[in-house]
Amino acid sequence: MTEYKLALVGFGGVNRALAQLIAERNQQWKTELGFTLKIVGVTDLFLGSVMDRHGLDAASLAKLPTTKGAMAQLPGGTLDALNEAVIKDCGADIIAEATFTNPVDGEPATSFCRWALERGKHVVTTNKGPIALHGAELKALAQRNNVAFEYEGSVMSGTPVIRLAKESLAGSSITGFEGILNGTSNFVLTCMEGGLGFAEAVSQAQALGYAEADPTADVEGHDVRLKVVILANELLDAKLTVNDVTCNGIASLTLDDIEKARHDGARWKLIGAATRQADGSISASVEPRLLSNDHPLASISGATNAVSFTSELLGAVTVSGPGAGRTETAFALLSDIIHIHQSATLKQEHNL
Ligand code: HSE
């Protein structure tokens, strides 16, 4: 039986939900997935850190108060965030990185990923910053160190998008995609269709936990722009940077615009899209688009996300599901760990 030792970097909602899943489901995973997970280190800038090579109690971690320095209450815990020590020295095989996204330089998350990969540890992350801004460098680093760097949760949380497109749609020749890739802005637009004002709708999205720490990143399209960069680089082999993607958000849409669209049999949606042009170049944008009601993305309401891939062999393939949420995003980390396990098992079977 395989047991992976796991270090959790960032202990906000996502890694806390992963600890809860481990507490509840480890025995089930043993039979269902062929492995169990043991948490050997946790670090968080606000809560502090704790390490134990023999394993920490996942249920107690999941219940830890959210007060500053709370890790100090645990045996061996400290209110200092010993990030480097936890990543490099707590004996983990896999680092689960789920700190906040910094859209400017991807730090400190990028350094966390770098330290782990250089030390020969697999990394699973839900963080858009390191992938959108430093994806090529981190992937090359992982390859050089013969470890995995997985980031399914960076786009549409646990709804399988990246692996679905790269593995199940491989060979279908994807030529582009368009997606509703931000739950907050879609929730806001849906609330506005019900007559709620923009500011009130944003407040509701914050209260429900969909919005980024700074909700302007959601409604101005910056969050979607990072996701467009990730998907275009992964699926279209583009080499886009954030500045290659034109970006307009939904803040200028009024209740009148939305009512007029309804009258005309259409809905406003914030769409992130990329397309391969005839000359091979990739054009990419984030913008509000008026979709007629028969468009595959027009019926997506509330905080739900969806992406529609265009491929030469299948035409449009659309997948919808949650794009945010603690447990939903923790599931993305689990799906990355499952992928690591399956690859390792395959290598063992072939003596590679
Ligand atoms: N704030 C994001 C959203 C969370 O609303 O979709 C996931 O990236």
Cα 247 to ligand 1 centroid, rounded to whole Å: 16
- List the domain boundaries for the chain: 2-158+327-351, 166-322
Better pLDDT: 264 or 213 = 264
Structure tokens at 230: 């990730």
pLDDT at 67: 97
Which residues lie closer than 8 Å to 343 by C-beta, 6 or more apart?
148
Annotated catalytic residue: which of 88, 128, 227, 269?
227
**Crossing angle of helices 109-118/128-144, nearest 10°?**
10
Residue closest by Cα to atom 8 of ligand 1: 324
> How does DSSP classify residue 78?
B
pLDDT at 348: 87
Give 303-336 pLDDT, tens digit per residue. Answer: 999 999 999 999 999 999 999 889 999 999 999 9
Cα 5 to ligand 1 centroid, rounded to whole Å: 29
CB atoms within 10 A of CB 326: 18
For 56-72, b where at least 16 C-beta lie within 10 A, e where not — what string? bebeebbebeeeebbbe
Residues above pLDDT 70, as percent of the chain: 100
The whole-angstrom distance between residue 260's C-alpha and the CA centroid of its chain comes to: 34
CATH code for 166-322?
3.30.360.10
Is residue 227 among the annotated active site residues? yes
Give 232-259 pLDDT, tens digit per residue. Answer: 999 999 999 999 999 999 999 999 999 9
Distance, CA of 120 to CA of 147 (rounded, Å): 6
pLDDT at 352 over 80: no
Put simply, whether the predicted model's pTM sits higher than 0.75 gets the answer yes
Give 67-108 pLDDT, tens digit per residue. Answer: 999 999 999 999 999 999 999 999 999 999 999 989 999 999
Residues with CB under 6 A from ligand 1: 182-184, 210-212, 218, 223, 323-324
CATH number (3.40.190.10, 2.40.50.140, 3.30.1490.100, 3.40.50.720) of 2-158+327-351 reads 3.40.50.720
The radius of gyration computed from the CA coordinates of the chain, to the nearest angstrom, equals 21
pLDDT at 142 over 80: yes
Confidence of residue 351 (pLDDT cuts 50, 70, 90): confident
pLDDT at 211: 84
- Which of 101, 154, 156, 218 should be mutated for ligand 1, with most atoms under 8 A from CB? 218
